[in-house]
Amino acid sequence: MSDDTAFDDASPIAVVGVGAVATALARRLSARGAPVRAILTRNETAARTLADRVGAPIASAEAGALPADIRLVMLCVPDDAISDVATALAAVSHPWTRTLVGHTSGARTAEALAPLAQKGASPFSFHPLQTFTPDTPPDAFDDIVVGIEGTPDAVSAGRALARGLGARPLALTARDKALYHCAATLASNGLVALMAVVEEILGAADLGDRNASAVDLMAPLVEQTWGNLASGTPEGSLTGPVARGDEATVNRHLDTLRDDAPNLVPLYAALSTEMARTAVRGGQLDADVAENLLHRLREVLQSSPSESDS
């Protein structure tokens, strides 16, 4: 299937919002031949700008401007705005019983669209497992996972939508969605926070004339590690002092953090705990050796002042 014929038989679509996800989604839909008929958002000028980019004839700040032939409405608004937008749309006279309504939040389920479900619409959540900024190109949908959850008919339509975008659908239950989103948050935002911590630790060290950022310094190490992970498993990719059961080195790290970045001691202990568990699972670390190390790390965690104490 070529890019511009993926949505040959698709019904007219409305996108609500003109932010990072809305822009990438509307552009991708349009590029693959989907009839994006309307862009709705709070600011009519912003709606018109995106509508012109994707060839949508309708651009409006009014929910009532939703054309009657729209059969798919995609809400790409902040999580906290989904219910309000759903309520505003539900007040519009529209053949809702023949309309699918999705939102792109990772944290919220289809339940957030309850006002529209009460009108007979088929609700679903459709979360692209990707990070988007206002400049993210539409090909950011290439081969990504889209987590989909909702009523069976809506999930089925969501799967087709994901495939049409060039992505891989992943059907989720409402309960699993929370775990899925927690994992995604750690994979993306957790990694960024970890690199910020690396930066903080290097900042405490006297590395002389530093021209490179922590990200630059660590890039080859991180890239090689990522390559190992991509072609293997976490268990098979783990190296370092914890995997070797080298408690003396772990203690030296803890001592230096206590002196120079005490706020990071609990994080180091918590991550080292997970490294030890991973190394035991992978058979690299003997369970008895690990138990001594884990005991030591538990003591560190229990004796670390919590944020609320400081």
Ligand X SMILES: NC(=O)c1ccc[n+]([C@@H]2O[C@H](COP(=O)([O-])OP(=O)(O)OC[C@H]3O[C@@H](n4cnc5c(N)ncnc54)[C@H](OP(=O)(O)O)[C@@H]3O)[C@@H](O)[C@H]2O)c1
Q: Which spans of this chain sit near ligand X (rule: CB under 6 A)?
A: 16-22, 41-43, 76-79, 81, 84-85, 104-106, 127-128, 131-132
Our CB check for ligand X shows the closer of 88 and 171 to be 88
Our CB check for ligand X shows the closer of 84 and 274 to be 84
Q: Give the nearest distance from C-beta 35 to ligand X in angstroms.
A: 21
Q: Give the nearest distance from C-beta 112 to ligand X in angstroms.
A: 9
Q: Give the nearest distance from C-beta 18 to ligand X in angstroms.
A: 4
Report the residue closest to ligand X, judged by CB.
19
Q: Give the nearest distance from C-beta 250 to ligand X in angstroms.
A: 35
CA distances from 241 to 238, 244, 285, 308 (A): 10, 5, 11, 31
- Cα–Cα distance measured from residue 228 to residue 238, given in angstroms and rounded to the nearest whole number: 9
Our CB check for ligand X shows the closer of 125 and 237 to be 125
Our CB check for ligand X shows the closer of 131 and 292 to be 131
Q: Give the nearest distance from C-beta 95 to ligand X in angstroms.
A: 22
Q: Are 59 and 38 a contacting pair, CB within 8 Å?
A: yes
Q: Give the nearest distance from C-beta 147 to ligand X in angstroms.
A: 9
Our CB check for ligand X shows the closer of 4 and 79 to be 79
Our CB check for ligand X shows the closer of 41 and 237 to be 41
Our CB check for ligand X shows the closer of 17 and 166 to be 17
Our CB check for ligand X shows the closer of 126 and 268 to be 126
Q: Are 74 and 41 a contacting pair, CB within 8 Å?
A: no
- Cα–Cα distance measured from residue 35 to residue 64, given in angstroms and rounded to the nearest whole number: 19
Q: Give the nearest distance from C-beta 73 to ligand X in angstroms.
A: 12
Q: Give the nearest distance from C-beta 25 to ligand X in angstroms.
A: 9
